[in-house]
Amino acid sequence: MDSSIPINRRHKAVGTLGHDSGHDGSYPPRMRREIVVPPSGMHRTTEAAGRSTLRAPKPAFRTTKTSQKLKILPEEDGGPGTDVDEYLGLTGVYDQVEHMRGAQGLRDEINRLKSLPPGSLPRVTAYATASSYTMTQLFKWIESRKGQNDTAPKLLDECIYTPFVYGPSEAIAINMEEDLIDTDTHAVKFYESYVPIKSEVFLFDYGVAVVWGMTEQHEREFLRELESFEVEKVDEDDIETEELEFYINSKAQSRIYNDVISLRTTKGHMAKLAISHAIAQATKLSLYEGLVDETIEATRYIPQRMAESGTVEMTRKGLIKKIGQLFIMRVNVNLVSNILDTPEIFWSEPTLQPLYMAIREYLEIPQRVEIMNHRVSVISDLLDMLNGHLNGMHG
């Protein structure tokens, strides 16, 4: 990635789009937000209950943040014992509840989870903290923490994976048994147990960290330690996040529902890598979605004034500056398009790609990219119009 081209909202040229308002920061005022680390809590309803009341409301760039949607995760038929096969199973991706053990069984399982106290489920949290990370130095630092944090880093193309343990962690495992009394309805009883897990992190070279199984406090500590390896750091109150949770159910097909991921086992990391790739891309995409929205909002007045007065009420210097800002915006979106391509690791690990694609679809990345590109075309039209006006002024 070309570090000479800024790709986050810390750049002054982007931050000064629109009217001068006395705002003294580099970020557009509307994008200012409070706190970084989200609270624990699995109660995710259409009102987004359980989320922090301290964080200012953010636009929901995907509908699955505010609606309940089920995505059955694909699996790969194959022999037992491999890391991937324990997570994967069917060859297709299905949204229908009927492909579970039954709609009632799924509702019972979800209701069981919702009856647990907030924060009972381990977290999966992604943070877009920088333009990029210095991966070589970061890898060496993680290696040096083996004795302290039980690290074992692996470089997987554009990602560093490692366990990173601050303290004991555990995950809820949902156990199911058929009701032997009511055999006609095939009813299923649920009970939970707890299994030990190691917290894990996936660090992507484009500045996103995906953390599995850490407490909120340990996430904060890890992010502080990560700061030394960030390039073009994002201000804390502008960090984009994705907040999910997970649990274990070895008897049911893996799925994601209402931002809660069900896995069949805690073993291995490759399936989590596939899931993390999609989550990281969605988090980075949110940065650009906000930037595009802010740019359109901040320049909305220009064509309106042209329609009213027949001219752009800007000096030549101001016009050139605005053209430069819009050009940087368009370059930035082109850069994120490369980030959102299918990761190269799926060429060598093709069995992981269906799982990655399923999470990508759940997070609505294809639809969001299409909408963003359409909105960028509006910016491009404005850029062409201003260039034409500038040429007219020069003539």
Confidence of residue 76 (pLDDT cuts 50, 70, 90): low
**Tens digits of residue pLDDT in 344-366:** 999 999 999 999 999 999 999 99
Cα angle 199, 218, 41; round to 5? 85
Q: Are 44 and 260 in contact (CB under 8 A)?
A: yes
Q: Which residue has the tokens 């970084």?
A: 36
Q: Under DSSP, is residue 311 helix (H, G, I), strand (E, B) or coil?
A: coil
What is the per-residue pLDDT for 66?
A: 64
- Contacts of 212 by beta carbon, 8 Å cutoff, 6+ apart: 122, 123, 124, 199, 200, 201, 202, 246, 272, 276
CB neighbourhood size of 355 (10 A): 28
CA 165 to chain centre: 22
Reply yes or no on whether the pLDDT at 223 is more than 90: yes
Please tell me the distance from the alpha carbon of residue 170 to that of residue 173, in angstroms, as a whole number.
9
φ/ψ (deg, to 5) at 111: -65, -35
Confidence of residue 294 (pLDDT cuts 50, 70, 90): confident
The packing angle between helices 365-394 and 316-339, to 10°, is 150
Most confident of 225-229, 319-323, 389-393: 225-229
Reply yes or no on whether the pLDDT at 132 is more than 70: yes
φ/ψ (deg, to 5) at 67: -135, 160
Please tell me the distance from the alpha carbon of residue 294 to that of residue 255, in angstroms, as a whole number.
34
Confidence of residue 93 (pLDDT cuts 50, 70, 90): very low
- Contacts of 214 by beta carbon, 8 Å cutoff, 6+ apart: 123, 125, 164, 166, 169, 199, 222
Reply yes or no on whether the pLDDT at 140 is more than 90: yes
Q: Which residue has the tokens 């949110």?
A: 286
Reply yes or no on whether the pLDDT at 41 is more than 60: no
**Tens digits of residue pLDDT in 175-187:** 766 554 454 555 5
CA-to-CA dists, residue 162 to 86, 192, 211, 212, 222, angstroms:
20, 28, 10, 11, 13
With helix as H, strand as E and coil as C, how does 210-255 read?
A: EEECCCHHHHHHHHHHHHHHEEEECCHHHCEEEEEEEEECCCCCCE
Q: Under DSSP, is residue 294 helix (H, G, I), strand (E, B) or coil?
A: helix
Please tell me the distance from the alpha carbon of residue 138 to that of residue 151, in angstroms, as a whole number.
12
Maximum Cα–Cα distance across the chain: 89
- Contacts of 161 by beta carbon, 8 Å cutoff, 6+ apart: 153, 154, 200, 201, 202, 203, 269, 273
